Amino acid sequence: MNRWLKQGYVLTSLSPYVDKDGKTALFKVRVDHPDGRKEIRPMKRNGSGWVIGEPNYPDDKKPLYRLPDLKTHPQEPVFVCEGEKACDALAGLSLVSTTSGSSSSAGTTDWSPLKKRDVIIWPDFDEPGQKYAQVVTEKLQSLGCNVQVFDVSGLGLPHKGDAFDYLELNPNATKADIESLPVVESVPVEPVSDDALNVESEAYPLPVSLSHQGPSPIPENVLSGWFGDMVQAVSNFSETPKELSMMLGLAALATCCQKRFNVLPFPGYKEPLNIWTVAALAPGNRKTSVLQAMTQPLYNWEKDRAEEVKEERARLSSERQTMEARIQHLRTKAGKSKDGDFESLRNEIAKLESELPDIPVIPRLTVQDVTPEKLGPMMAENDEKMSLLSDEGGIFDLLGGRYSGGSLNLDLFLQSHSGSQVRVDRGSRPPVQMDNPALSIGLSPQPEVLRALTDKPGFRGRGLLARFLFTVPNSLLGYRSLQSSPVPRSIADGYERGMRALLNIPVTPEPYSLKLSADALEEWRAFSRKVETGLREGGQFEQIGDWGAKLPGAAIRLAGLFHCSEYSSTRPWDYPISLETMNKALSLSAILSEHARFAFDLMGTDHDLPTAKRVWRWIERECKTSFSARDCFSGLKGHFKRMELLNPAIEVLVERHYIFPRDQNETQKRGRPSKQFIVNPTLSEGWK
């Protein structure tokens, strides 16, 4: 791949193919050249790394793309496209989609996960696309599938156009719109028995994957304008997932809008525009540089405002000190005065105190590391608002009671998310009173920080975690070109202008109200009804009902932020939030719901799982079909100091059917007994 990078190509996508065991079987890599050329190639595992080349698949059958989605949505119809980009675009509308990867790979792909399912094929708008549809139709008919093929001739697509191009041309398209597109062919199929499908019973149970399949990427048509340009440019420059710059950028955008605007979907209901975001990424992903790029306009604005009040602060500070000295002198004199002079001195002191000038506060927009006790007074001094923006997750330790003996300290944060009144009177600290506080948060902690949150049960029970919008993107470490170009000056300047325009709108006692257009409101209501259904038993939000219940409100906030960025150079309150803007917010909300489920799964992950993965990597590396606990301990003695530290990891592998205990009498001849294990043959088949 270095050959392409040296020629000026840029890595634009990295699509993982996961096999039935949850392991990454290959990556499909795409690099684009500024002149329009592109290269799309598979990458296979080579020892501990990856190289360009097609892997050798079990039974010579390549896995389908987005295979875990097929398993987790067994009743949904499946859309088959010709490429990964089109699949991801449909997934952005919560449609189950898959592909074999190209028109030439249909015959070498394992289509069996689709047996007896309803399938809609979306061919590319060209002759190879039609041939691909024919081949796939034949494959699926043999599996007892109910197959339909979209009529792409009347969709207005360019030559070779696909589902991605359709959504680019129709950014307001919904899931229902896609499902109602015309079909050119509907092929009824006679019932097919499992015997005819060559379904074999397995002697060993299938393993329960040690790894989570990552959620869908962010659709490319969700972000637009100067904000979307900056998110993409920073992602390209830093060679980091777009989710990172997007989530930190959204928190920065909320910093500009909070306390200035509210969204009023209908009378009696309003949503403020402060949001909490998390993009969990491992160290080394240039999180600091991304945070700096997305928040630089905030610091520039703070610096300019500090300079503007500098002279006035100096003058009034000097004047106040002089008056305070005079007051102190008079107070001392009054203490020694006779009754006739005391009354006169007391009146003069009262007059001077009433005339003490207020020193202008140096405006603050953000903090990075602050205790809840300090945050309250800072917000009260800054129009009852503040943003906590950091490339780490240390705030979770502070909230968990690092400086308060382990006692949770969440009240101010929870109240500042919803805009509830704050009244704090504690000990020797000055009282804090705020009528409508607003706090935005943008964090990029390590995934391990999320796992550790399970040790703080109050975070979930008090509703703290339910207020965050999560992303857990796939890291690009190991696949970066290290030759990216800086963010274009024009894009950085446009981002700066847009953010400053919003920051320069005065904070008024009552925020400006943003209304929804009639069709935007109806679309949001439909989305809310769908979420409500998902909160039921067996629904998609059953396990994260606390988070799902807040999703419609979060979608409103996202729509408001997108609207403000769109009309930043004018008066956003003069225009209703459009259907197009609402659809972008709802599309993003749907993807964020996938990320939330993944994040909450991560937070609920068994703490022994990482060590189990380490043991499994040793088994794979050594191609073990059987082994003893002593063998494993010896092979990993650099990681486990005592055998009892290894045992929990082995228990996880047994529970998940990766390995099975072996009868001691079969192999143990003499010496101190050591537990024996065999590796699930469905995993070790083909090892030498």
CA distance 42 to 28: 4
Where would I find the H helices in 401-464? 411-418, 447-452, 457-461
Rounded alpha-carbon distances, angstroms, from residue 554 to 93, 274, 570: 17, 10, 24
Q: Write out the two tokens for 629.
A: 């606990």
CA distance 468 to 275: 8
Closest CA to 487 of 301, 238, 222: 238
DSSP 527-575: HHHHHHHHTSTTSTTGGGHHHHTTHHHHHHHHHHHHHHHHTTTS-GGGS
The CA angle 298-299-305, to the nearest 5 degrees, is 90
User: What b-and-e string marks burial along 326-358, b requiring 16 or more CB atoms within 10 Å of the CB?
Assistant: ebeebeeebeeeeeeeeeebeeebeeeeeeeee
Residue 666: its pLDDT value, please? 45
CA distance 623 to 642: 24
Q: Write out the two tokens for 414.
A: 């929870």
Predicted confidence (pLDDT) per residue in 394-446, tens digit: 888 777 655 455 556 788 899 999 999 988 776 666 788 899 999 999 999 98
Looking at this protein, which amino acid is placed at residue 310?
K
Question: Checking DSSP bridges between strand 78-80 and strand 118-121, what pairing results, if any?
Answer: parallel
Q: What residue has token string 């193919």?
A: 17
Rounded alpha-carbon distances, angstroms, from residue 414 to 260, 455, 465, 506, 568: 20, 19, 10, 25, 29
The DSSP symbol for 154 reads: G
CA distance 509 to 506: 10
Looking at this protein, which amino acid is placed at residue 114?
L
Q: Which helix (H) or strand (E) holds 591?
A: helix 579-603
Give every CB contact of residue 333 below 8 A, 6+ residues apart in sequence: 345
The DSSP symbol for 109 reads: B
Looking at this protein, which amino acid is placed at residue 382?
N
What is the C-alpha R_g of the chain? 30
Mean pLDDT confidence for 291-305? 95
Question: Checking DSSP bridges between strand 38-46 and strand 49-52, what pairing results, if any?
Answer: antiparallel
Residue 120: its pLDDT value, please? 94
- What is the distance of C-alpha 514 from the center of its chain? 26
The sign of the CA dihedral 245, 246, 251, 256 is positive
Specify whether the CB–CB gap between 247 and 442 falls below 8 A.
yes
CA distance 127 to 106: 15
Specify whether the CB–CB gap between 614 and 646 falls below 8 A.
no
pLDDT above 60 for 537:
yes
Looking at this protein, which amino acid is placed at residue 494?
G
Mean pLDDT confidence for 213-221? 71
Beta-carbon-side half-sphere exposure of residue 420 (alpha carbons within 13 Å): 9
**Rounded to a whole number, what is the largest CA-CA distance in the chain?**
114
Residue 193: its pLDDT value, please? 43
- What is the distance of C-alpha 597 from the center of its chain? 10
User: What b-and-e string marks burial along 504-530, b requiring 16 or more CB atoms within 10 Å of the CB?
Assistant: ebeeeeebeebebbeebbebbeebbeb
Compute the 3-state secondary structure of the chain and give helix, strand, coil in percent, each to the nearest 5: 45, 15, 40
* pLDDT confidence tier of residue 187, bands split at 50, 70 and 90: very low
Least confident of 417-431, 456-470, 489-503, 638-652: 417-431
The sheet carrying 659-661 orders its strands as: 626-628, 676-679, 659-661
Give every CB contact of residue 4 below 8 A, 6+ residues apart in sequence: 31, 39
Residue 304: its pLDDT value, please? 93
Mean pLDDT confidence for 514-522? 96
- What is the distance of C-alpha 147 from the center of its chain? 34
* pLDDT confidence tier of residue 457, bands split at 50, 70 and 90: low
Mean pLDDT confidence for 550-571? 97
pLDDT above 80 for 101:
yes
Question: How many of the other CB atoms lie within 10 Å of CB of 486?
Answer: 10
Mean pLDDT confidence for 346-356? 90
Mean pLDDT confidence for 60-78? 84
Closest CA to 607 of 446, 451, 459: 451
Closest CA to 82 of 62, 70, 96, 65: 65
Residue 553: its pLDDT value, please? 97
Q: Which helix (H) or strand (E) holds 650?
A: helix 643-655
Of 53 and 262, which is predicted with more confidence? 262
Predicted confidence (pLDDT) per residue in 309-336, tens digit: 888 888 888 999 999 999 999 999 888 8
Q: What is the percent of the chain with per-residue pLDDT over 70, rounded to a whole number? A: 88
Closest CA to 224 of 523, 489, 585: 585
Question: Checking DSSP bridges between strand 118-121 and strand 146-150, what pairing results, if any?
Answer: parallel
Predicted confidence (pLDDT) per residue in 2-49, tens digit: 566 656 777 777 888 888 777 788 888 888 777 777 778 888 877 656
Rounded alpha-carbon distances, angstroms, from residue 155 to 82, 165, 222, 676: 17, 10, 21, 61
Residue 663: its pLDDT value, please? 64
Average pLDDT across the chain, whole number: 85
Q: Write out the two tokens for 382.
A: 């800054």
Helix (H, G, I), strand (E, B) or coil at 66: coil
CA distance 102 to 99: 8
Residue 370: its pLDDT value, please? 85
Of 244 and 70, which is predicted with more confidence? 244
Residue 202: its pLDDT value, please? 44
Closest CA to 569 of 516, 494, 506, 509: 494
pLDDT above 90 for 251:
yes
Residue 105: its pLDDT value, please? 78
Residue 601: its pLDDT value, please? 79
Give every CB contact of residue 374 below 8 A, 6+ residues apart in sequence: none
* pLDDT confidence tier of residue 686, bands split at 50, 70 and 90: low
pLDDT above 80 for 81:
yes
For residue 276, the cross-strand partners are 441, 468
* pLDDT confidence tier of residue 122, bands split at 50, 70 and 90: very high
Mean pLDDT confidence for 495-505? 97
Question: Checking DSSP bridges between strand 626-628 and strand 676-679, what pairing results, if any?
Answer: antiparallel
Specify whether the CB–CB gap between 645 and 636 falls below 8 A.
no
Mean pLDDT confidence for 48-76? 78
pTM over 0.75: no
The DSSP symbol for 62 reads: B
CA distance 375 to 367: 9
CA distance 355 to 394: 43
pLDDT above 60 for 283:
yes
Question: How many of the other CB atoms lie within 10 Å of CB of 249?
Answer: 29
* pLDDT confidence tier of residue 512, bands split at 50, 70 and 90: very high
Least confident of 125-139, 505-519, 648-662, 669-683: 669-683
Question: How many of the other CB atoms lie within 10 Å of CB of 301?
Answer: 20
Predicted confidence (pLDDT) per residue in 658-680, tens digit: 899 876 554 444 445 678 999 88
Residue 446: φ, ψ to 5°: -75, 150
User: What b-and-e string marks burial along 113-127, b requiring 16 or more CB atoms within 10 Å of the CB?
Assistant: bbeebebbbbbbbbe
Rounded alpha-carbon distances, angstroms, from residue 83 to 77, 104, 405: 18, 11, 54
300: left (phi over 0), alpha (psi -120 to 50) or beta: alpha
